[in-house]
Structure 1
Amino acid sequence: MGASHAWELYRAELADGTPLFVKALGSGADDAPFAGMFQAEALGLSWLGRSFGSPVPDVWGWDPRTLVLSWVEERPPTPEAAERFGHRLAGMHLSGADSFGGSRDGFIGPLPLDNTPSDDWPEFYAERRLAPFLRRAADRGALTPPDVRIVEKVIDAVADLAGEPEPPARIHGDLWSGNVLWQDDGAVVVDPAAHGGHREADLAMLALFGLPHLDRVRDAYNEAAPLAAGWRARVPLHQLHPLLVHVCLYGAAYRTTTVDVARAALRGPD
């Protein structure tokens, strides 16, 4: 099928013809940077799957170098599927979490993700999602010192920008459009960085790189789980973390967008 980061992707079949999806570290890949990655993904999918709607594939098994999932046969996105996906995403979020973060650390793409639990979302977002990736991006030289100072202003202001407190939601955590596989009756989500987080984060990331029929998804979501007042103004705040991840992975190509989004987050509601 192809490759992504340090792993390769395959379609396999059981003896009875049942198709499976296999993700495996490449033969030349070093295990050490990815220790626990497939376990984290498998456990994250299983946790998301124990939610209302459970829009995830089944986990067949994993070991330190391999993850095996049920095969998802994709279909073209439709408005009707988008509506069903919005309802199921709301159900998944509303299933909740014990805290912000989780019982074990995880990964977002190939990068480690600190899931140390917290009862305070602004603190969690600032210290576990923004600051570590800002440091990594700065150390790489992909952000200039003035860029870093702009993001640091967001970190310092998260408590004021976050809106009214919400309980921890059961979120995917890396929900860009490429991780949404469309079905006739909705969509399946894959490659999670699952944790207890803010539900607006998943919706903001769907908007970041464009999702077909996003308005239909969001309208259906709002029917099932109305978003809090001011959510539109908080979209840049929630997009800042995935953009910092992209700067860490891909360098200065995402610098301008990241800085623009940080400035938008600081503006807050118009």
Structure 2
Amino acid sequence: MDVPAHLTHLTGTPPTRLHALGHSHAWTLHRAETLDGRTLFIKALDNGTPTGVLTAEAAGLRWLAQATPDLVPPVLAADPHMLVLPWQPPHPPTPAAADHLGHSLATLHTTTPATYGAPWPGYIATLPLDNTPTPGPWASWYAEYRLAPYLPAAAEHLGRDGLRLLERVIDRIDDLAGTPEPPARIHGDLWSGNILWTPDRALLVDPAAHGGHRETDLAMLALFGAPHLDRILSAYQHTAPLNPGWRQRIPLHQLHPLLVHVVLFGASYRGMLLAAAASALAG
């Protein structure tokens, strides 16, 4: 793709400087300085047929901003080939920013959509994410739309015993899911790499946003570790207390992102996935 030309087409302003930031999945990343004095973050699809992943990301950011506009960056421009956001200079995470994140995330989650899923086709990384709007309950929705669809692609890495362990979780999902809750507006891929820190707050990027279970975002924060996680959780609990047993359900909510990692990256994530499945079954 001709990134400068397409950026000019989308924003109406040509870049004066363009800095390559690397490659991730099926897109390239850039920082652009423009003729009107702005600094922008660019995610541009590699050459090839657009899949809808960037339009899904833009839709998710806008949908999250409807509930908590201070928690996500504004979408400046987007189409199937490119996503344009304001550039956010990197800052180290601070306790104040962690407190802000916990409070704002709880506020986001108390905004309840009518159904699970979302009104657009979803993606997580480059994988389709079935967002068919569904009334629930969450347990059966999670099994049908977030676990079962990834088992065929993961099967070669899981082996027969591993696959059966995941199937046992699906068979017992009603017993494992805890107290029913209404759908929550969630980020959907909230690992620490999708948090941009400022001196006093956090911004969330790269969502796989949808109506889901609020414990899913918290479990994802814990999966690969987030800075000041205890402060995030404390601020969250102060704003919107979680139901009893939420810590025991963390492995259940981590199964979907770990399945996605197995599909994308292979057997190196098999051990983590099967350990989480065993923990979910143990309660």
Please say which structure displays the higher CA radius of gyration: 2
User: How many pairs were matched up?
Assistant: 262
Correspondence for 1:130 among 135, 147, 152: 147
For residue 209 of structure 2, what is the amino acid of its counterpart? A
**CA, structure 1 residues 58+198, in 2 after alignment: closer, same or farther (shift >3 Å)?**
same
What is the CA-CA distance between 1:41 and the residue it aligns to? 0.7
Q: Tell me which residue corresponds to 2:213.
A: 198
Long gaps (5+) in structure 2: 1-20
Three-state SS of the structure 2 residue aligned to 1:59 is coil
Query: 1:103-161, CA deviations, whole angstroms, 9 ceiling, x for partnerless residues?
Result: 122100000000112221111100000001112211xx111010000000001111111
Cα distance in 1 between the residues matched to 2:209 and 2:225:
21
Aligned equivalent of 1:44: 60
Q: What TM-score, normalized to structure 1?
A: 0.95
Stretches of 4+ aligned residues off by more than 3 angstroms: none
Measure, in 2, the Cα distance between the counterparts of 1:95 and 1:52. Answer: 9
Structure 1 residue aligned with 2:123: 107
Q: Unpaired segments of 5 or more residues in structure 1?
A: none
Per the TM alignment, residue 53 of structure 1 is displaced from its structure 2 partner at its CA by 5.3
Matched with 1:235 is: 250
CA contact (8 A) 1:121 1:197 kept: yes
Structure 1 contact 96–169 (Cα < 8 Å) conserved = yes
Specify the code of the residue in structure 1 equivalent to 2:80: P
Question: 2-side partners of 1:42 and 1:104: how far apart?
Answer: 11
Conserved 8 A contact 1:240-1:261: yes
Question: Is the Cα contact below 8 Å between 1:154 and 1:265 reproduced in 2?
Answer: yes
How far 1:74 moved relative to its partner? Answer: 2.0
For 1:52-91, list aligned pairs within 5 A: 52=68, 54-91=70-107
- What aligned pairs does 1:11-22 form with structure 2 within 5 A after superposition? 11-22=31-42
Q: Quick one: which of 173, 182, 187 aligns to 2:202?
A: 187
**Given residue 144 of structure 2, which amino acid in structure 1 is its aligned partner?**
E
Any conservation in 2 of the 1:53–1:92 contact (CA below 8 Å)?
A: no
Deviations 1:15-63 (A, max 9, x none): 1221111000123xx21xx421111111110000111354111101112
Question: Do structure 1's residue 251 and structure 2's residue 266 form an aligned pair?
Answer: yes
* Alpha-carbon RMSD: 1.0
| Cα distance between partner residues in 2 of 1:160 and 1:118 | 20
User: What is the CA–CA distance in structure 1 between the aligned matches of 2:26 and 2:68, rounded to whole Å?
Assistant: 33
Q: Equivalent residues in 2 for 1:28-43 (5 A)?
A: 30-31=48-49, 34-43=50-59
Moved more, 102-111 or 192-201: 102-111
| Residue 14 (structure 1) shift | 2.4
- Displacement of 1:93 in angstroms is 1.0
Distance 2:87 2:66 in 1: 19
Distance 2:120 2:189 in 1: 17
- Does structure 1 residue 6 correspond to structure 2 residue 22? no
